Structure 1
Amino acid sequence: MSSSFMCELFCLSARKPMRASFSLRKFAGHGAPATGNVDGWGVAFHEGNEVRLYKEPEPAGHSQWLDFIERHTLPTRQLVSHIRRATQGGNSLSNTQPFVRELGGRTHLFAHNGDLKEVVARAAYPAHRFHPVGQTDSESAFCLLLERLAPLWRDDVPPLGARLETIAAFAAAMRPLGTFNFLYSDGEFVFGHAHRRRQADGTMGPGLWFRHRHRAEHGTHAAHEAEAGVALHPADGAQELSLLASVPVTAGPWRPLAEGEIVVLAGGELQNP
Structure 2
Amino acid sequence: MCQLLGMNCNTPTDIVFSFEGFRRRAGLTDCHSDGFGIAFFEGRGVRIFRDNHAASQSPIADCVKQYNIKSLNVIAHIRKATQGGVTIENTHPFIREIWGQNWVFAHNGNLKELPDMSESFCQPIGSTDSEAAFCYMAEYLKNRFRRKPSEIEIFEAIQDITKELSQKGTFNFILSNGEWMIAHCSTNLHYLTRKAPFGKAHRIDDDGVIDFNDYAKDGDKVTIITTFPLTKDEPWVKMEHGGFVFFKEGDKIAEVVGVAKEMEDDGTLGNRAAA
TM-score (norm 2): 0.83
Corresponding residue for residue 271 of structure 2: none
Gaps of 5+ in 1: 1-5, 197-206
Corresponding residue for residue 243 of structure 1: 224
CA contact (8 A) 1:7 1:83 kept: yes
For the residues of structure 1 that align with 2:240 and 2:18, how far apart are their CA atoms?
28
SS at match of 1:110: strand
Equivalenced residue count is 252
Corresponding residue for residue 106 of structure 1: 101
For the residues of structure 2 that align with 1:230 and 1:148, how far apart are their CA atoms?
43
1:96-125 CA-to-partner distances (Å, cap 9, x unmatched) read 000001121111100000000012xx2532
Residue 32 to residue 257, structure 1, CA distance change in 2 (3 Å)? farther
Q: Which runs of 4+ in 1 moved over 3 A?
A: 22-26, 28-35, 222-237
Corresponding residue for residue 27 of structure 1: 22
For the residues of structure 2 that align with 1:134 and 1:168, how far apart are their CA atoms?
25
Deviation at 1:69, TM superposition (A): 2.3
For the residues of structure 2 that align with 1:35 and 1:11, how far apart are their CA atoms?
19
1:35-59 CA-to-partner distances (Å, cap 9, x unmatched) read 6251001111112322111111111
CA contact (8 A) 2:195 2:220 kept: yes
Corresponding residue for residue 7 of structure 1: 2
Name the % identity: 31
For the residues of structure 2 that align with 1:51 and 1:264, how far apart are their CA atoms?
20
Counterpart check, 1:151 vs 2:146:
no
Higher normalized contact order (CA 8 Å, seq sep 6+, divided by chain length): 1
Letter of the 1:124 partner, please give it.
M
Letter of the 1:263 partner, please give it.
V
Matches within 5 A, 1:1-273: 6-22=1-17, 24=19, 26-30=21-25, 34=29, 36-119=31-114, 122-126=115-119, 128-151=120-143, 154-155=146-147, 157-196=148-187, 207-216=188-197, 219-221=198-200, 224=203, 227=206, 234-250=215-231, 251-272=233-254
Root-mean-square deviation (CA), in Å? Answer: 2.5
For the residues of structure 2 that align with 1:118 and 1:247, how far apart are their CA atoms?
28
Letter of the 2:253 partner, please give it.
Q
Which stretch shifts more, 183-192 or 226-235?
226-235
For the residues of structure 2 that align with 1:81 and 1:44, how far apart are their CA atoms?
6
Letter of the 1:186 partner, please give it.
N
Letter of the 1:272 partner, please give it.
A
1:3-47 CA-to-partner distances (Å, cap 9, x unmatched) read xxx311011111111222157564244599736251001111112
CA contact (8 A) 1:8 1:28 kept: no
Deviation at 1:210, TM superposition (A): 1.5
CA contact (8 A) 1:103 1:153 kept: no
